[in-house]
Chain A
Amino acid sequence: MKHNIVDNLFAGASSLVLHVVLLAMFIIGMDMTSTPKPLAQEPQKEIVQATVLDENLVEQEVARLEKLEQDKKNAEQERQQKVQDQLEETQKELARKEQEYQDMEERARIEAEQRAKAAEEEQQRIADLAKQREAEEQKRLEAEKQRKQEEELKQKAEAERKQAELEKQKVEAEKKRLEEEKRKAEAEKKRLEEEKQKAAEEKRKAEEAKKKAEAEKKRLEEEKRKAEAEAKRKAEEAKRKAEEEARRKAAESDLQRQLEQEQQERETRRVKGVVDQYSLMIQQRVKRYWLRPANVQSGLQCTVQVSLLPGGDVKNVKIVKSSGNAVFDRSAESAVYKAAPLPQPSDPKAAAALRDFQFIFKPE
């Protein structure tokens, strides 16, 4: 059991050391892998569209592309140089790191010695083992180092290959881009042409629209003119009609006035007619009742003013001009009284005219 614990303890110590070493190596390794790595790129699908191009244009384009290739080669050399430089730099850096590692190693050794001092027996007892293990570790480390170096070289070569591949891809991409540009240019050209066509079309359309608009305008103007003419005609018609109406109304009005006037004249005539008729009736009646005195001197005459009540009865009789003969005057008054009620027209106007009037009584 004891053995186990020791074993375990040893194992633990060695594991610790190993971890420290591994950590340090990892850190170093990390540094080592900080060189540029080609990125795994999804190869782009090439979509080449066959297009019939102008021979000259192709040639020109090929020349241009060759030149471009040349330039690229030059740039590549330059870049190779740069890579070389970078590699050297990296090696320098690696050396520097190595130094730093060594320094750190030193410090760790010191620390270990210090710890060994504290645990000298322990260290002694396990010295062999440690030595063995160290040798093994050394060996493994060296193998690891070598593998790592190989790996690195391999990676480097791979990177370069990948780089070249990338370049190639780039060229192809460029070519493709150019083609794409060409296509685009063509598309652009086509687009332009289309646009031109479109523009032409639009222009045509615009012209057409303009024409149309002009026609419309003209039409509208025509319509407006027509409408104005119509309006004018209508206005004139309306005016004419209004004038005619006014004339007609004026004529009607005149006619109306004339009619009214005639009506009034007729009315006056009618009333006068009624009055005359009733005057005659009154005259006849009063005459019938007039008993004039016999044997009076000739030329006697008297004027009697009479007011009648609405029914024709006598309201008042007055001698306004005497004959000079009382009996003669009285005979006239009596005649009026006796004749009452005097005939009265039902027409109020005529009746009004026959409300107050006078008689002249004279025998012949």
Chain B
Amino acid sequence: MFTRWLKIVALLMFFVPWPAHALLTIEITGGSEAALPIAIVPFGNEGFAPPEDISSIISNDLKSSGRFAPLKQSELISQPHEGQQVNFADWRLLRSEGLLIGKVSSQDGENYQVQFQLYDVYKSQQLVGKRYNVPASGMRTLAHQIADVVYETLTGEKGVFSTRLAFVTEIKNVDGSKRYALQISDADGANPRTVLQSRQPIMSPSWSPDGDRLAYVTFENAKSEIYVQELSTGKRQSVASFRGLNSAPAWSPDGKKLAVTLSKNGNPEIYILELSTGKLSRVTHNSQAIDTEAVWMPNGREILFTSDRGGRPQIYKVNADGGRAERVTFEGNYNASADISPDGRMMTMVHGVNGGFHIAVQDLETGAVQVLTETRADESPSFAPNGRMILYATEQKGRGILAAVSVDGQIKQRLGESGSAVREPAWSPFKK
């Protein structure tokens, strides 16, 4: 009887080895954050040819982010421009997850209609599609916008391709004199335009949180001064011109204050300047050391700054309304020029080790430091507004250039093809 029971049970087990309620489950952990394969088909064209190769711009943008691996043009199986021309099976063969197609048409060469569609190849599904009317001059900006849409659609994060970079160029004249320019470019370093020129050095550009204004330091009046300039109008205003040193402005997250370094009392200290009233409040009180390069935490209550109060420059943190500063960096004998990621979790800084100065990131929670670059004269790291990339200046053949590195150090790229030496870059916030 018992054996019969067993037999029945065995039979049941035999026939129902995996009952429906115990559906076999396979756990997939890890995975990779490797670049996503995407097919970007050159946009079709009707009528006047567009002044920019939109699909190339988009492709470069996506590639520069390190998050995408656009297929090479030669790999493209076909060149559909409209949905009904797409054969998804072809693109699946290429293991391409995304497919971007589009077309540009113009009747007059001045105004263009641009449309694009982004598909999920495996689900044979359109993820997003848009249509724009744009003047010829706006074609590059539109391309960056489309790249942002693609990026955001496929990564879930905002793209930074429509954001801007501010940096200072230094041009040596033939007579040996130098000409400085404050410039703004697209996020890919292209399309630079000068917002300020000077025969005297320009330093430390800083973006207002809304991206409409820049604060910077000039020496045009034979002394250091802090200006705030409205980009759309070019109108500017000196906000700090105290005796001694006026430098390193940093916008508070609410855009109402600047943290600045002043030496009006003899020793460089961190102050907070209320822009609407011009009221100053001192944050640091260490007369033996230099405290400078303040940066606000996103919460607007704390400030990080560089100080050599410990003998060598290190990063410290202090409440914006003063108080005791605490040291943040402990690795390496030199840490300076901090910037904070938009989410406040990561800090990037120039990290000096073995006589070299590299871009590093430090997890503010754990204190873990990761050096991202191998170049030896890196400076002024600045987070992209989505926190994925870090813009910095480095030297190539004795000349300053712009470069960007992903926060994981995987992607490094040089930005722009400026003929001039570039220094002190700053990545803009998202356009509000």
Contacts and interface: CB of A to CB of B under 8 A. Distances in A.
Interface of A: 254, 257, 260-261, 264-265, 267-268, 271-272, 275, 279, 282-283, 286-287, 289-296, 303, 305, 325-328, 330-335, 337-338, 349, 353-354, 356-364
B123 A360 contact: no
B36 interface: yes
B13 A264 contact: yes
B175 interface: no
Interface in B110-148: 120, 122-123
Contacts, number: 120
B26 A359 contact: yes
A206 B381 CA distance: 145
Contacts of B26: 279, 282-283, 286, 357-360
A291 B156 CA distance: 13
Most buried by B among A257, A330, A359, A364: A330
B7 A287 contact: no
A360 B31 contact: no
Contact of A275 (B6, B14, B24): B24
Interface in B246-291: none
B120 A293 contact: no
Nearest to B343: A295
Contact of B10 (A264, A293, A337, A364): A264
Contacts of B35: 291
B24 A361 contact: no
Given A325-B156, A337-B92, A362 B29 contact: yes
Contact of B30 (A282, A295, A332, A363): A363
A265 to B, nearest CB: 7
Contact of A296 (B7, B27, B154, B156): B156
B63 interface: no
Interface in B1-58: 3, 6-7, 10-11, 13-14, 17-18, 23-36
A360 B120 contact: no
Contacts of A330: 120, 123
A118 to B, nearest CB: 152
A353 B24 CA distance: 7
Contacts of B155: 293-294, 327
Contacts of A272: 17
Taking chain B's interface residues, is the majority helix, strand, or loop, or is none over half, making it mixed?
loop
A265 B13 CA distance: 9
A335 B32 CA distance: 11
A249 to B, nearest CB: 14
B321 interface: no
Nearest to B155: A293
Contacts of B103: none
Contact of B29 (A275, A287, A353): A287
B29 A295 contact: no
Contacts of A287: 28-31
A295 B34 contact: no
Contact of B25 (A268, A295, A337, A358): A358
Most buried by B among A283, A294, A361: A294
B423 interface: no
Contact of B28 (A325, A349, A353, A361): A361
Given A291-B34, A295-B388, A354-B24, A337 B123 contact: yes
Nearest to A304: B28
Nearest to B341: A295
A334 B31 contact: no
A362 B25 CA distance: 13
A257 B11 CA distance: 12
B387 interface: yes
Contacts of A305: 23
Nearest to A326: B156
Contacts of A333: 122-123
Contacts of B30: 287, 290, 363-364
B163 to A, nearest CB: 17
B28 A293 contact: no
B122 A338 contact: yes
B156 A279 contact: no
Nearest to A361: B28
Nearest to A275: B24
Contacts of B388: 294-295
Given A292-B33, A356-B23, A271 B156 contact: no
B376 interface: no
Contacts of A289: 95
A283 B10 CA distance: 29
Given A338-B97, A354-B24, 7 more contacts: A283-B28, A290-B30, A291-B34, A292-B33, A294-B33, A358-B23, A359-B27
A362 B28 contact: yes
Given A268-B17, A294-B67, A257 B7 contact: yes
Contacts of A349: 17
Contacts of A271: 17
Interface in B61-96: 67, 92, 95
B329 to A, nearest CB: 23
A359 B25 contact: yes
A357 B3 contact: no
B417 interface: no
A283 B27 CA distance: 7
A265 B10 contact: yes
B29 A364 contact: yes
Interface string B383-415: 000011000000000000000000010000000
B210 interface: no
The 5 closest A-B pairs by CB, nearest first: A327-B156, A337-B122, A290-B31, A357-B24, A294-B33
A283 to B, nearest CB: 5
B363 interface: no
A295 B11 CA distance: 50
Given A261-B6, A264-B14, A327-B156, A360 B27 contact: yes
